[in-house]
Chain A
Amino acid sequence: MIVAEQKPLAEIAENIMEAQKVLVVGCGGCVTVCLSGGQKEVDILATSLRILRKKEGKPIDTATETLERQCDKEYVDKLAEKIQAADCVVSLACGVGVQYLSERYPDKCVVPAQNTKFIGGTTEHGVWEERCGLCGECILARTGGICPIIRCSKSILNGPCGGSQDGKCEVNPDVPCAWTLIYEKLKRQGREDAIYEVFPVKDWSKSRDGGPRKYVREDVLL
């Protein structure tokens, strides 16, 4: 899932500027799962904004809503009425949700309430870790199911670098060296000879370096 972290209240407040009627919109997808943008967080943020503005002597009205998903036009359409009544919309979705709202309601100012961070998962309650860099051409089959693109700090395809020590990455002793993990996994599966294979240079044009990507399924087009 997409992992996002809420921005500091002061930054959100600054971005809504002089608005007096603020609609706070959550998303029922990833950000609900990672506890940063679901209904609960929507309520807390709306309340916090009201309190802050009241303290500043510039009270505001807030309305709230949490869509099933903000990255889906069908759900975003349902907001039409509530948005009409607002001067400013605060979105607690990932960057896609914010852009979808902004695209659908181009006359309204839509403010992001989150820093969209990465795709990852929970490793323990309250801890999320990045697992994929969306490179567009997955090589996990050859790396023991561990992604060197994102889990190696240098995206090395033929690692480890000289900085790996005690199985940790040179960048941070709390981070495992992806290549030590890969080696250990391959060894466990009796496939460590795969390390000898020289991975050719990667085609980054399939990643973000090829410009914004688009995926079309001809078979399901209407």
Chain B
Amino acid sequence: MSEPAKQDGEFTTESKLERLFARGEFVVTSEIGPQKGASAESVIHHTEQSKAYCDGFNITDNQSAVVRLSSIAAAVHIMRHGGNPVIQMTCRDRNRIAIQSDLLGAYSLGVRDVLCLSGDHQSFGNHPTARNVFDIDSIQLIALVKMMRDERRLLCGDELKTEPRFYIGAVESPTGDPVELRVMRLAKKVRAGAQFIQTQAVFDVEKFAAWMDLVRNSGLDQRVNIMAGVIPVKSVRALRYMKDNVAGISVPDELVDRMANAENPQEEGKTIAVELIAQLRRIAGVKGIHIMPVGWEDVLPEIVTRAGLQLRPVAD
């Protein structure tokens, strides 16, 4: 399998994120979950409000298998309002035909960044009796996007007249187990063509740092731009929920106690997020932060500002 196709001064794509990483900027992305309805109002609101505070908006693809405004449609609204969208593409709802078609469509509309993931199982969503697809998996999806871009071919081998030049992202779960398997999976994603990684939310910085040690030892931090995930939490209830129910998230007890004893949990949640960002930034090999406010999007400008990251670089 070939290495990421970047030579000196040459980019694989027109992605703003790729340029910022190449320049050594510390990249900040955030996440928007489009609303459950045929309106882009909230997407537009968050774009207007936060576009100056982050370099890209990740748009979830029917997150938790709940039907929402499509991520590609949301991307178009974000672009119209001056934001830079990163679309999520999951394998749950589309077979290889729909995936390739949607990728071509998204590129034609101006989307330049795509995050490849398998997707939450439909049993978690609002259509638990749905038939799922999972025709290809996330690693095969990464390789597919790379093939379309670098070989100008569809999966079947047919040539593309115009190739979609996507900057390819993937996710990893650093505190998931077994940890060595998580590093192997990361290596596999990088070999398949992943150029940036957004990690699952980190609360346990120690565990994350241990994973980064393994990542650095295998040289993977040199081959892929790793962004650490941060979720600002509003309440101890939300934190406990994540600790107990969200796979791959590990929350230290001290943090739970801190939230439980906080006079103003919302303020404490923001402070914790700011502190986490500062700690994660110091870990060698971390090239950026991905903030996932899950329903608390309004908090983004404040967190980014308090973390001292409010002056976002301009691409080119």
Residues of A within 8 A of B (CB): 153-167, 170-171, 179-180, 183, 192, 195-196, 198-202, 204
Contacts and interface: CB of A to CB of B under 8 A. Distances in A.
Nearest to A155: B134
A163 B136 contact: no
Interface residues of B, number: 38
19 contacts: A154-B119, A154-B134, A154-B137, A156-B138, A158-B140, A160-B176, A162-B118, A162-B172, A162-B176, A162-B200, A164-B176, A164-B177, A166-B177, A180-B177, A180-B178, A195-B188, A198-B188, A199-B139, A201-B96
A163 B247 contact: yes
B132 interface: yes
Interface string B159-202: 00000000000011100111001001101100110000000100
B123 interface: yes
Contact of A200 (B92, B140, B178): B140
Contact of B132 (A154, A160, A179, A202): A154
B171 to A, nearest CB: 6
A158 B188 contact: yes
Interface string B139-151: 1100110000000
Given A154-B91, A158-B137, A201-B96, A163 B171 contact: no
Nearest to B181: A183
A111 to B, nearest CB: 24
Interface of B: 1, 91-92, 96, 117-121, 123-124, 132, 134-140, 143-144, 155, 171-173, 176-178, 181, 184-185, 187-188, 191-192, 200, 247-248
Contacts of A159: 137
B120 A163 contact: yes
B139 A170 contact: no
A201 to B, nearest CB: 5
A154, A162, A164, A166 interface centre (most CB from chain B within 10 Å): A162
A162 B247 contact: yes
Given A154-B132, A201-B155, A204-B135, A183 B176 contact: no
A195 B171 CA distance: 18
B140 A201 contact: yes
Contact of A160 (B136, B181, B191): B181
Given A198-B191, A201-B155, A161 B138 contact: yes
Nearest to B137: A156
Given A161-B138, A162-B176, A201-B96, A154 B121 contact: yes
Contacts of A171: 121, 123
A154 B123 CA distance: 11
B117 A162 contact: yes
B187 A156 contact: no
B122 to A, nearest CB: 9
Given A161-B118, A163-B248, A198 B143 contact: yes
Contacts of A158: 137-140, 185, 188
B187 A201 contact: no
B134 A196 contact: no
A198 B192 contact: yes
A200 B137 CA distance: 10
Contacts of B134: 154-156
A59 to B, nearest CB: 38
Central interface residue in A161, A164, A171, A180, by most chain B CB within 10 Å = A161
Given A154-B137, A162-B171, A200-B140, 14 more contacts: A162-B173, A163-B120, A163-B247, A164-B177, A165-B248, A180-B181, A183-B181, A195-B184, A195-B185, A198-B188, A201-B144, A201-B155, A202-B135, A202-B136
